[in-house]
Structure 1
Amino acid sequence: MKKYILYTLFLVMAYGYGQELHLPVFTQYLADNNFVISPTYAGIGDNFRIRANGLTQWVGIKGAPDNQSLYADFRIADQSGVGLTLYNDKNGNTRQKGAKFSFAHHLTLDYYSKQYLSFGISYNINSFRIDIENFQPNYDNPVIDPYVTDDRATNNNNFDAGVLYRNKGFYFSFNANNILTKDLEDFIGAEPNLLLNYQIYSGLVIPSKNNKNIEFEPSVYYQMFSSDKRSSTDINFKYRQFTGTNDSNDYFWAGLSYRFLNDQFLKPLNIGPMAGIMKSKFYFAYSYQVTTNAMAGYNSGTHMITIGIDFLQGVSNCPCTEGAVRR
């Protein structure tokens, strides 16, 4: 019984955090794909970038969250970029699918000190469904609610907006996600209709003084939900080393992420290592997160894989589309 209660509570928690009509943020953005965080990153870099991400949370628990996503962004003209995000999220008997269409524009504040300012916006369309195909009578619930006769679904539209400031290797982005309230016409209960959440992502790319091919990148990611003011923070650190010529820019990296609720700094939600490699424009990364709460004894952690490719290289005439990471 205790195991069943813990399982139920944590699935409810995952529902609250992960399926509120936005793509759940784990550590996808640390796989050198900042576009996951904000539309302002669309078009920064010299390539058409595609990243595919697969995530399985709490391996070993039936019905635990499972997510697949695809990201693509590229530059148009010298100072603008567009991007596309597709995602599919499964959590118990809930299903969520959606897409984001993003646009960003980049400005040069000061050419000599390399200060840039970017603005971005995303239009989001999302389909949320309660799947009753697995609803079966059992010992605890011998009779299924007669009013539940079909799948319950709703479609929603929303917008994200953000601003990004960069100064050489330093970056700071602020984003407001799900600006519009959610349509609750098809649902009854305590489901929140205010899904607005704020995200801050900041970090610094630090070149090694002893080796020009080595970079260090500490970063922090903060998210706060407007509905109930709950918030969490990621503290991250990455090591990156380039192995190819300036033309190929092959590299590998390794890092560590520490996530906690902001009122429980010494009680992390997840902590885990990650690593990745870029070789001849092909990208691969793997991330593992250890669950450090009461569910640790019932699962083997969260696993995430990212694969990608960079192609159609075209150097912009404006330095405002250059990334903090050498490419």
Structure 2
Amino acid sequence: MIKKLQLLISLCLLFVLPVKAQQDAQFSQYMFNGLYINPAYAGYKQNLNINTFYRTQWTGFQGAPRTMTLSLDAPMYDNMMGLGFQVASDKIGSTDELSAYGIYSYRLQLDDEESRLAFGLGVGFYRFAFNGSNSVVDDPSDDLFSGNNSSTIRPELKFGLFFNSARFYAGLSANNLLSPYIKYEPDASTLAPKKSTQVYLTAGAAVPLSDNVVMKPSFLLKQDIKGYSTLDINTFFLLYDKVWVGGAFRNSFKFINKLPNQPVYNTNAAILMTELFLGEKFRLGYAYDMSLSAVKDLNASSHELSLSYSLDVQELFPPRSPSAGNVRGVTERADKAEREAKQKEKPKEPVKEQPKVPAPEKPKPEPKKEEPKPVDNSLREKAENEAKAKAAAEEKKKREDEAKQAEALKAAEVQKAKDEAKAKAQADAEAKKKLEAEAKEAQRLKEMEAVKASDEAKAKIKADAEAQKKRDAEAKEAERMKEMDAIKASEDAKAKLKAEADEAKQRELEAKKAADQKAADAEREKEEAKTRARNEAEEAKKREKEAQDKAKEEERAIADQKKREAEEKREAERKAADAEKERKLAEKREREQEKEKERLEKEKEEQMKANETPFEREERRKAEKEEEKRIKKLKRMKGAMASPRYF
């Protein structure tokens, strides 16, 4: 059982050559390995990023898949472009796959926030190698495996789109774009599978739950154009900006029905993951896959490790510093501005009491100490005189610089005094003008108050007159209402007498109407009894007729059922005959392919024989004799020669 499972793991992707295609490895921590599935991810983090991943699947089985990737990417030109490099190795049993890509991305800024749309392109190659000596088979002498070592290299291309904002991201990419267009002839000697195009759709969001917890739901849909699909649904939580913890569920299904007879392999799994930040630059991740497929009873778990390193591009390529002269000029301007600000903050004092700011002294170069050498006195005196003259010149220049600086400060202080006097005169003029305006405003307000008092007196007289007029009108209205109440009381008495008379008349009419209704009800009940009897008789006849119709319908249904069963039987027999015919045709085609293969092999052998040297011919004959002996021995041991079609 174990040998069969090992054989299945190592060869399940190889012997479906033109029909089924090789799938790329899938990582559980795909959300931290964006460059592997989408080339547009290059430069997304705006840092230099180095990521390495190692995954072992179905731990404990010989020849189980082992996958490793290494990727590097960095931004360029103010994060508008990205460059990257990605290499991946996938080993399954006797097979070894290697792919490498150079990646370029271009990023568009969609708004003033963090929304970006990136386009990515990856160009590289794909290498497939097969080592037959590592195969575990029932027949070690089979030529297909014994000593069959081969490799194939093909160019490859990938393309992707990636959108991101402050809280959301989505990506669409396609790998292995060239494989479907490369002419491919299956060859059992190389066992190289044909890779199919893989399409990835992924999206996720960051949802803050509190100041220290952020939830990150995401999904990855992987579609094999000529195979089945896998869907990863994930939920992560970032705790205190230090650690990611979460889980995922992976499911396989058939999304595009390209090959109706192709089975869907159950790769369902539950996944637990964590990512730990080690300082500002390193991140360590681990994922554990628990298989929910047929191999779960064999404890076939998977482990995945990841290590990431991130470095600020500014630290790697710091901006060029300005020249020394520019730095000195900027520093002197800053010092001058600082001195002027301090002088403005000081209280006003006479010019003569302003402290002088000492001029910056240039550091004197220290004379180099030299070992005493025997020289004559004239040269020594000449050197001393030159040194004294140089020192005197430097002292004179220093005094001149101090004098110039003192004059500049004095001129600045005089100009400052003039500016302050001018500002004071201007302030006095503005204060005088303000006082005159305030006096005019006070006079205007006084006149307005007098006018307001006169208007209020007139309004009061008018209001008193209107109040008296209102009181007179209210008295007249009260007298009128009193007269109307008396008239209303008289009319209410008359209406009451009339209502009592009408009520007596109404009671008499209702009594008569009740008697008439009672007689009518008795007559109606009599008619209803007759109608019910008639309806019951008709219903009995109807039920009898329905029973007869139902019996006839059941007889017809039984006859139709027998007819359908006969037709289904004939259809099943026809399908069985067609299936048998198709099977025979398939066997015939298979035999023809075998014959064609044998013919090609014979032609190849004959061509090799025609081109071989006498020494090669002698060696070939010896090998043929040895092969005949080996085949005879196998026939004696097993009764028939093993066919390379069975493994």
The TM-score normalised by the length of structure 1 is 0.81
3-state DSSP class of the match of 2:105?
strand
Q: Quick check: 1:15–1:91 contact (8 Å CA) kept in 2?
A: no
Equivalent residue letter for 2:236? K
- CA deviations on 1:11-65 (whole Å, 9 max, x unpaired) are 4456699x967751221323x3322221111101232111111111110111100
CA distance, structure 2, for counterparts of residue 214 and residue 187 of structure 1: 55
More helix per residue: 2
Counterpart pick for 1:170 among 165, 168, 171: 168
Cross-structure match for 1:252: 243
Report SS of the residue matched to 1:36.
helix
Distance 1:131 1:239, change over 3 A: same
Task: Specify the SS of the correspondent of 2:314.
Answer: coil
Identify if the C-alpha distance between structure 1 residues 204 and 35 changes in structure 2 by more than 3 Å, giving closer, same or farther.
same
Alignment of 1:287-298 (within 5 A): 287-298=287-298
Cα deviation, 1:213-269, whole Å, max 9, x if unaligned, reads 3211100100111123x11100011111244xxxxxxx211111111112599x762
User: Which of 237, 240, 249 is the matching residue for 2:238?
Assistant: 240
Structure 1, 177-186 or 216-225: larger mean CA deviation: 177-186
Larger Rg: 2
Q: CA contact under 8 A between 2:132 and 2:145: conserved in structure 1? A: no
SS at match of 2:35: helix
Equivalence for 2:396: none
Change in CA separation of 1:158 and 1:191 when aligned onto 2, cut-off 3 Å? same
Letter in 2 for 1:111: D
Counterparts of 1:252 and 1:90 in 2: how far apart (Å)?
Answer: 31
Deviations 1:255-312 (A, max 9, x none): 11111112599x7622110101112211100110011111122244100110121113
- The structural deviation recorded for 1:187 is 3.0
Q: Mapping of 1:1-327 within 5 angstroms?
A: 1=1, 3-13=2-12, 23-30=24-31, 32-78=32-78, 79-112=80-113, 114-135=114-135, 140-145=138-143, 149-181=147-179, 182=182, 184-185=184-185, 187-188=187-188, 193=194, 195-208=196-209, 210-211=210-211, 213-228=212-227, 230-243=228-241, 251-263=242-254, 269-280=268-279, 281-314=281-314
Quick check: 1:128–1:153 contact (8 Å CA) kept in 2?
Answer: yes
Pick closer, same or farther for the CA change 1:142–1:173 going to 2, 3 Å. closer
Choose 193-202 or 140-149, whichever is displaced more. 140-149
SS, match of residue 58 in structure 2 = coil
Cα distance between partner residues in 1 of 2:140 and 2:55: 34
Question: Quick one: distance in 1 between partners of 2:52 and 2:144?
Answer: 41
Question: Does the aligned pair in 1 maintain the 2:131–2:147 contact within 8 Å?
Answer: no
1:312 partner letter: D
Aligned amino acid, residue 237 of structure 1: T
- Displacement of 1:314 in angstroms is 3.5
Measured in 1, the distance between the counterparts of 2:90 and 2:267 equals: 24
Deviation of 1:5 after TM superposition, in Å, equals: 4.0
Specify whether residues 307 and 200 from structure 1 end up closer, same or farther in structure 2 by C-alpha distance, changes over 3 A only. same
Letter in 2 for 1:101: G
The unaligned stretches of length 5 or more in structure 2 are 256-263, 316-647
CA separation in 2, counterparts of 1:83 and 1:170?
23
Secondary structure of the structure 2 residue equivalent to 1:144: coil
Deviation for aligned residue 1:178: 0.8
Counterpart amino acid of residue 52 in structure 2: A
| C-alpha contact (below 8 Å) 2:233/2:249 kept by paired residues | yes
- Shift of the 11–49 alpha-carbon distance from structure 1 to 2, 3 Å rule, reads same
| Pairs aligned (count) | 298
Is 2:13–2:21's contact at 8 Å kept on the other side of the alignment? no
Cα offset, 1:166, TM superposition: 2.2
Q: Which residue of 2 aligns with 1:247?
A: none
**Distance (Å, rounded) in 2 between the aligned partners of 1:305 and 1:120:** 26
SS in structure 1 of the partner of residue 295 of structure 2: helix
Query: Could you say which structure has the greater relative contact order, defined with CA pairs below 8 angstroms and 6 or more residues apart?
Result: 1
Provide the secondary structure at the position in 2 that maps to 1:59.
Answer: coil
Q: Relative to 1, partners in 2 of residues 1:25 and 1:183: Cα closer, same or farther, differing over 3 Å?
A: farther
Q: Percent identity?
A: 24
Partner SS for 2:297: helix
- 1:99 deviates by 0.8
TM-score (norm 2): 0.43
Q: For 1:15 and 1:101, locate their aligned partners in 2 and report how far apart those are by CA, in whole Å.
A: 28
Distance in 2 between residues matched to 1:268 and 1:144, nearest whole Å: 31
Equivalent position amino acid for 2:86 in 1:
T
> Alpha carbons of 1:98 and 1:268: their partners in 2 closer, same or farther (altered >3 Å)?
closer
Instruction: Give me the whole-angstrom Cα distance separating, in 2, the residues matched to 1:46 and 1:197.
Output: 27
Q: For residues 300 and 58 of structure 1, what CA distance do their matches in structure 2 show?
A: 4
1:115 touches 1:168 (CA, 8 Å); kept in 2?
Answer: yes
The structure where strand makes up a greater share of residues is 1
Alignment check: 8 A CA contact 1:38 1:175 kept: yes
Distance 2:225 2:40 in 1: 21
Q: Within 2, Cα distance between the matches of 1:15 and 1:304?
A: 25
SS of residue in 2 equivalent to 1:40? helix
2:122 is matched by which residue type in structure 1? S
Alpha carbon RMSD of aligned pairs, Å?
2.9
Structure 2 Cα separation of the partners of residues 151 and 161 of structure 1: 32
